[in-house]
Amino acid sequence: MSRLRLLLSVGEPAGIGPDLCVSLAQHMLPPLVLIGDIDCLRHRAIQLGIPVAFAPWSPEQGWPENNQTLSVWPITLPHSCRAGQLDPANAPAVLEGLDRAVSLLQAGLADALVTGPIHKGVINDAGIAFSGHTEYLAARCGQGEVLMLLAGRGLRVALATTHLPLRDVAAAINATDLERSLRLLQQGLRQDFGLAEPRIRVTGLNPHAGEGGHLGREEIDIIAPVIGKLQGEGWAITGPWPADTLFTPRFLEDTDAVLAMYHDQGLPVLKYHAFGEAVNITLGLPIVRTSVDHGTALDLAGSGRAEIHSLLHAIQAAAEIVRQRRLSSS
């Protein structure tokens, strides 16, 4: 089996992304290529007191043999970067890194992308409409149907809706999109995790899963019929379950994944359970993409207090998904 070729986008340069990337020099990892500003990385390494050498890289060079020197596909920031201080002028360079990575992956010259944390607000402040990595990468890949999944310590939680204001969530729950999300989830669990018959539980939208219609009818009119249809196809799927009781050991012990209706219904539980070790995985893309489970942590940038564990888990997960896909296609 050929070796793995992993790309890592540094993310928001003012955040902890550069801290985490330079810290990789202290870990034994498969050879990977960073995408970011090499001067920013070098300055952050000096600030943190981490001895590491950097080497500019380009696709024409072939893949690096090791990580004793960190290979960087350089992108020059318009403005010099200072830890903890956002600058909208640098936002286009952050997105350029994602664009380059997707192009390389689509050309078959890399196997997976691990993304460092980005700051949605500063990208929007730069006048660029942006709602998140998941949506941006889907558009960049020409893929309209994707699903956000976070996984950690044996718990997997996918989201029927992602970065929406809470007031818009109920209107976004419909049978067509819900069925599409569940099919993406089943396909991803089979393809990327090797689960032949994944066991899926689905939350309700409303408190107590609607209380028989007294607290909302989405469960009766939308969620339950979709689940029933998939059960009729032989799926191991149940619901809609009240979210406040579904996320307990008794229910989760025989569950491979949960589909939650919205971001802050499912992810607080996942992050309480596995924060710092969880991985964000985008299902449905033609490329492999994983990410950390945290944000840019501007207050920690340059301090030496940023934890690298989630990034290490994201790198490991990307490698495992690539291997699983190779096995399933061989």
Q: Which CATH number fits domain 1-143+285-330: 3.40.50.150, 3.40.50.300, 3.40.50.10440, 3.40.718.10?
A: 3.40.718.10
Checking if the pLDDT of 211 tops 50, the result is yes
Which of 309, 327, 291, 325 minimizes the C-alpha distance to 98?
291
Identify the sign of the CA torsion 109, 115, 120, 122: negative
Mean pLDDT for all residues in the chain: 94
Residue 51: its pLDDT value, please?
92
Distance in angstroms (rounded) separating the CA atoms of residues 9 and 41: 12
Checking if the pLDDT of 67 tops 90, the result is no
Distance in angstroms (rounded) separating the CA atoms of residues 124 and 264: 22
Residues 146-163 have a mean pLDDT of: 95
Q: Which CATH superfamily is domain 145-281 in?
A: Isopropylmalate Dehydrogenase (3.40.718.10)
Question: Identical fold at 1-143+285-330 and 145-281?
Answer: yes
Q: Which residues contact 16 (CB under 8 A, 6 or more apart)?
A: 117, 296, 297, 298, 300, 301, 306
Count how many residues are written for the chain.
330
Distance in angstroms (rounded) separating the CA atoms of residues 12 and 174: 34
Residue 134: its pLDDT value, please?
86
pTM listed for this prediction = 0.92
Residues 149-162 have a mean pLDDT of: 95
- Sketch the domain layout of the chain as residue ranges: 1-143+285-330, 145-281
Structure tokens, 24: 């990789």
